Each structure stands twice: as C-alpha cells, then as structure tokens.
Structure 1
Amino acid sequence: MAPQVRQSVRELRRLQTRERILGAAIAEFRASGMAGADVGAIVSAAGVAHGTFFFHFPSKEHVLLELERREEARMAAEFARFLDCRHDLTAALTKVVALIAGLEQRLGPLLFPELLALHFSPTRPSKDEWSDHPVIVSLVREIERARGDGEVHPEVDAFYSAAFFLLGIYGVLTTVANSDGRDAMLTNLIVTARRGLEAR
C-alpha cells in the first residue's frame, strides 16, 4: 500500500474515532451535564481506550468547544439561507431567537447553560474574537445592511446592538422557565430591540 493511501486510511480512522467519542460525550453531557459527565462512560460507549479520549480532547471543555463550533456553523448556515430570502430586520431578529431557542431544545436543560457558561468563561480553553463566531458576524452584517437601507438609525453601533440582543436572548432562556411568559419576554425583546434600532 502506498504511503499516501496508508496515511489517508489512518486519517479516516482517526476522524471516525473522534466522531464516536464526540457523539458519546455529547450524549453523556446531555444526561449528566459536563461537570457530572463520566469519561469512563464516554469511552465505554465509544468503544475506545481511556487515553484515546484525551488524545482527541485534552479536557471535557474541549468537547464543548467542538460542539459550540459545529452548532454555530450550523445555525449560521441556516441564518444565511434565511437572509438570502426577502425579509426585514424584525424577521431577522425573530429568526435569531428561533435558532437559539432551537439550540436550547436540542442540547437540553443541562448542556445548554453549560455551553453558554463556557462561551463566556474567562478560563475558556481557546481565546477567540467575536469575529470567530459566525452567528454574531451575520447579525452584525444584517444590522449594518438595515442601517444602510435607512431602517436603522445611522448612529447605531451594529456590533453592540447585536451583542446586547444575543445577551438578552441568552438571559431569558437561562433564567426563565419554558412557558408562555418566556415566549412573551422573547417577543418583547424583539420589539424592544427593533424600536431601539429604528431610524427616527
């Protein structure tokens, strides 16, 4: 077997092993939370040796970082498809709320807050800029587009507006129980954000 083919097979196996570990870890995190997750249960479910987990993910936090990266890419792609269709800023803000609420439902009540806690943690294993997060980048661009079209006041700072809006969503989702009241708060958040951005 040629060295290049051998390397490709080895790389494919490595990626398959990483995916098995990631899938098993996410399942364990959903059930027990990251802090309570048992690496032994993860490696058993993935069918790998204990050290193999740490070869692929130096810590449980690194699993969460990988999950965050993938979820952000998925949500950004869905948001981009939405933005390609006819819409206004209110519809775009509503879509962002729906995307993040959908993430909360997918991850569950234990994992979603832990993902957010890691996202904002000063001890986060990887330090990155806001521009490394595609959802906020897309929202900033959408607010800039609306500002250019005269929908938004010319003095509005697109980055801070996007950041405060996202923080508002995270705040509601992590502090208010899932209920009609929470839905009303999210709707009011959209209305308030839109009014604050309006060109006068």
Structure 2
Amino acid sequence: MAVVDKPSARETKRLQTRERLMGAAIAEFKRSGLAAADVGAIVTAAGVAHGTFFFHFPTKEHVLLELERREEERIAKQLKRSAASLDGLDSILHEAVRLILGLERRLGSVLFKDFLALHFSQTRPVDESTEHPVIVEVALKIEGAQQRGDVDADVHPMNSAVFFLLGLYALLTTTHDWPTQSAMLDDYVTRTLRGIESR
C-alpha cells in the first residue's frame, strides 16, 4: 500500500489562509464588482495582514482566474456526467448553456459579469494551465458526434468548442437583462449546430 504524505502544518495553514482570502475576495467581488473591490476589506474579512493577499494573489484578477479554474473543472465534470444520459449534440450544448447559467445564479450577476469579462480582458493574467476543462469536454462531445457521422468531417472539434463557448460568454455578457435572452441562446445553439453538422 502506498503511503501518502500528509501536508505539513505550515502548508495546511497556507492553504487555509488562501481559502479564507478566496472566500472573502469572492464575497467582496459579489458586493462591489472586481474594479471597485477593496483589498483592505478582503484582508479584514479574512483576518490577515494586507501583504498576505498579494503573497497569494498578485492581483485581484488572479482570484478570478483561480475561481475560473475551479468552476470550469466543476462544470466539465457535471457536463460529462449529464452527457451519459443525453441524446445528441443538441442536448449536450443546451446542457452546457444550462450549467453556465447556473453559475450565474450561484455567483450573482455582478461577479458573473466580471467572471465572463475575464475571458476578453487585455489585463487577464497569464494562465499557466494548458487546458480549459469545459472547452475540452465540449470538444470531446463534438468529436464523438463527428465519429457518429452527425458532424461534418472537416470540422475541427477543439476550434468549434472554443467558438461555441466564447460566443456564449459574449452573448451572456451583453444580453444579461434582455427579455429575449433565452430565445437568443436557443437560436445560438441551433445555429452553432447548423454550422458544424453533416450535410
């Protein structure tokens, strides 16, 4: 049986501090939005010194990047689980939309808008990860549909997944209060499918 090294007390404390800061920052972002969020209020709520924030997160955008990583992993796992019982790429893309809209309900409209805007931000921190789990999961589903003959052989599944999700994020960013948003999202999924399906 393999022995798993437990983290040291120091590492455990560091991770706990990071989680407290993350929670306090997310609460502040929900209240004020990213731009107006006060690092002083975050560190006070987390019960740490001011410099501790910057030890863990060089900028406020780095908190959003960490939140994005966590949420993408969670959404990708849910999409993979749901896809097992869904029939066809249409249902899978609608499920992806549903899961991302669920994220808006959990984060609240202010933080959700900042979360989506991070994808298009010129000040986005360099992302060290090589994969975005939601993009990868959608690409796998497009590839599966392609193998079944439902998607054109010339379609590049990864590119199509990127186009689909970036377009979705742009729509959600710009149509938040529109009464026609739901119909637009349905139409967006339909037109995405028309653009990649076999003829």
Q: TM-score, normalised by structure 2?
A: 0.90
**Are 2:152 and 1:153 aligned?**
yes
Amino acid at match of 2:183: A
Alpha-carbon distance, 1:190 to partner: 1.2
Judge conservation of contact 2:72–2:133 (CA < 8 Å) in 1. yes
Q: Which runs of 5+ in 1 are unaligned?
A: none
Alpha-carbon distance, 1:159 to partner: 2.2
**Equivalent residue runs for 1:114-125 within 5 Å:** 114-125=114-125
Match of 2:81 in 1: 81
CA RMSD of aligned residues (A): 1.9
CA distance in 2, matches of 1:138, 1:146: 13
CA distance in 2, matches of 1:132, 1:160: 13
CA distance in 2, matches of 1:176, 1:20: 33
Match of 1:133 in 2: 132
CA distance in 1, matches of 2:57, 2:128: 18
Amino acid at match of 1:10: R
Match of 2:101 in 1: 101
Q: For this pair of structures, how many residues does the alignment match?
A: 195
More helix by share: 1
Q: Which runs of 5+ in 2 are unaligned?
A: none
Q: Which runs of 4+ in 1 moved over 3 A?
A: 177-180
Match of 2:12 in 1: 12
Judge conservation of contact 2:117–2:173 (CA < 8 Å) in 1. no
Amino acid at match of 1:138: E
Match of 1:143 in 2: 142
CA distance in 2, matches of 1:33, 1:87: 39
CA distance in 2, matches of 1:187, 1:178: 16
Alpha-carbon distance, 1:179 to partner: 4.8
Secondary structure, aligned partner of 1:79:
helix
Amino acid at match of 2:134: V
Secondary structure, aligned partner of 2:150:
coil
CA distance in 1, matches of 2:166, 2:10: 42
Alpha-carbon distance, 1:177 to partner: 3.3
Alpha-carbon distance, 1:180 to partner: 4.2
In terms of mean alpha carbon deviation, does 67-76 or 105-114 score higher? 105-114
CA distance in 1, matches of 2:20, 2:105: 22
Match of 1:189 in 2: 188
Alpha-carbon distance, 1:185 to partner: 0.3
Secondary structure, aligned partner of 1:34:
coil
CA distance in 1, matches of 2:48, 2:187: 48
Judge conservation of contact 2:34–2:60 (CA < 8 Å) in 1. yes
